[in-house]
Amino acid sequence: MRLTIEHRTLYAFTAPQGRVVQLLRMTPGDTHDQTVAAWHVEVDCDARMTDHRDGFGNATTMLYCEGPIARLELSVTGEVVTSSSGGVLHGTNETLPPRFFLRTTPATAADAEIGAFAKGAATGNDIPALHGLNREIRQRFKDDCGRPAPGLTAAEAFGREALTARDMAQVFIAAASAIGVPARYVWGYCDLAGDHRPTPHGWAEAWVAGLGWIGFDPWLGQSPEEHHVRVAVALDAAGAAPVAGSRLGEGRERLEVDVTVQGEA
């Protein structure tokens, strides 16, 4: 499948900023199951950009903009060709051993309620058990198509009626950790997640001995397939965020995000 992606992020400031520095995790990589045919990251002001890789193996770009800056718009456009893999990852850039992803963060720590849910939903730690956990999360929560609440933890989200894709993924990670399965957060794009979303898509990956990393998308209740474009991974959503940074200046900022993903077989 060929997926065409447009991802626009606009920052508007109530007072001009002296400097803006941002870490961008907005560039997908090639694997055996996805090939980046074209990819462009552009900014609408004078800027310096340098490319790197972080400790998780994600492609990153440091963006430096000197002021005065009243607004800043990031535009990402590209095409990615994907193939079906049954959710099993092949050819990814792995820099850390699977056991590293047994670690949890405040956002993905399981409380007693999530632990009990995980033990009831996943009888074991093999693929059928993890698919069962994925389906149980899908069935438990309604969809929240808005912007994720900043700082919401998996334990807090578990008590809600409706969750965003980010929060469902972090609940899956917390539940997986509760039954001893290494798991991590993935952000990317998906043409099944809905057009013109206020945020990119998010899902999870879990490690199964003998097979490796396998994707699980609780928002869809299935494994990621050719409709998904994988961009960055980390222990939680904050660690894999598309944009993180700082600004030098007073005033407030207004953020607008628009994501459009179109797939063609």
Q: Which has the minimum average pLDDT: 118-127, 128-137, 179-188? A: 118-127
User: Between helices 127-140 and 112-121, what is the axis angle to 10°?
Assistant: 120
CB 181 within 8 A of CB 206: yes
Short-list 157, 152, 146, CA closest to 114: 157
DSSP states along 132-192: HHHHHHHHH-EE--SPPPTT--HHHHTTSSEE-HHHHHHHHHHHHHHTT--EEEEEEEETT
Q: Distance from CA of residue 229 to its chain's centroid?
A: 10
| pLDDT tens per residue, range 193-237 | 766 566 789 999 999 999 999 999 999 999 999 999 999 999 999
CA distances from 132 to 38, 88, 99, 230 (A): 36, 16, 22, 23
Whole-number pLDDT of residue 106: 97
Residue 263 CA to residue 45 CA, distance in Å, equals 31
Go through the domains of the chain in sequence order and give each one's CATH number. 2-80+243-264 (2.60.40.2250), 85-234 (3.10.620.30)
Is 209 in a helix, a strand, or coil? Answer: coil
Short-list 206, 209, 195, 204, CA closest to 230: 204
Tokens 């149980």 belong to 136
pLDDT(111) > 90: yes
Whole-number pLDDT of residue 123: 78
Whole-number pLDDT of residue 193: 75
What angle is formed at CA 169 by the lines to CA 12 and CA 189, rounded to 5 degrees? 55
Q: Distance from CA of residue 18 to its chain's centroid?
A: 30
Phi and psi at residue 227, to the nearest 5°: -85, -5
Residue 90 CA to residue 111 CA, distance in Å, equals 33
Whole-number pLDDT of residue 195: 60
Whole-number pLDDT of residue 176: 96
Q: Write the burial class of residue 2 (CB in 10 Å: 0-12 exposed, 13-18 middle, 19+ buried).
A: middle
Whole-number pLDDT of residue 196: 58
- Average pLDDT over the chain, rounded to whole? 94
Residue 214 CA to residue 221 CA, distance in Å, equals 14
Beta strand 253-264 with 2-24 is: antiparallel
pLDDT(124) > 80: no
* Res. 242 pLDDT band, cuts 50 70 90: very high
* Res. 159 pLDDT band, cuts 50 70 90: very high
Tokens 């900014």 belong to 43
Mean pLDDT of 128-143: 95
| pLDDT tens per residue, range 55-108 | 999 999 999 999 899 999 999 999 999 999 889 999 999 999 999 999 999 999
* Res. 122 pLDDT band, cuts 50 70 90: confident
| pLDDT tens per residue, range 16-66 | 999 999 999 999 999 999 999 999 999 998 899 999 999 999 999 999 999
